[in-house]
Amino acid sequence: MFDEVVGIWVVPNISSQFESFTGYSSMWVGIDGNCKCNDLIQDGTEQEWVNGVAKYSAWIEFIPESEIVIKNFPVSPGDIIYATSSVGIKDGVITGFYFMANYNTNISVSASLAMPEGDTFSGQSAEWIVERTEVNGSFNNPLPYYAYAYMDDAWAYRAGSNQRVTYLKEANENITMIDGSAHLSEAYEQDSDSMWFQWLAYQ
pLDDT digits (tens, 9 = 90+) for 86-135: 999 998 899 999 999 999 999 999 999 998 888 888 888 899 999 998 77
CA separation for the pair 79, 93 (Å, rounded):
34
Report whether 195 contacts 176 (CB < 8 A). Answer: no
Domains and CATH numbers, the chain: 2-199 (2.60.120.700)
37-75 pLDDT per residue, tens: 878 999 999 999 988 889 999 999 998 898 999 999 999
This prediction's pTM: 0.93
pLDDT value of position 17: 65
Distance CA 68, CA 165 (A): 28
Q: What phi and psi values does residue 59 have, to the nearest 5 degrees?
A: -155, 165
Check: CB of residue 155 under 8 Å from CB of residue 193: yes
pLDDT tens digits, residue range 182-203?
999 999 999 999 999 999 988 7
Question: Is the pLDDT reported for residue 18 higher than 70?
Answer: no
pLDDT tens digits, 69-81: 999 999 999 999 9
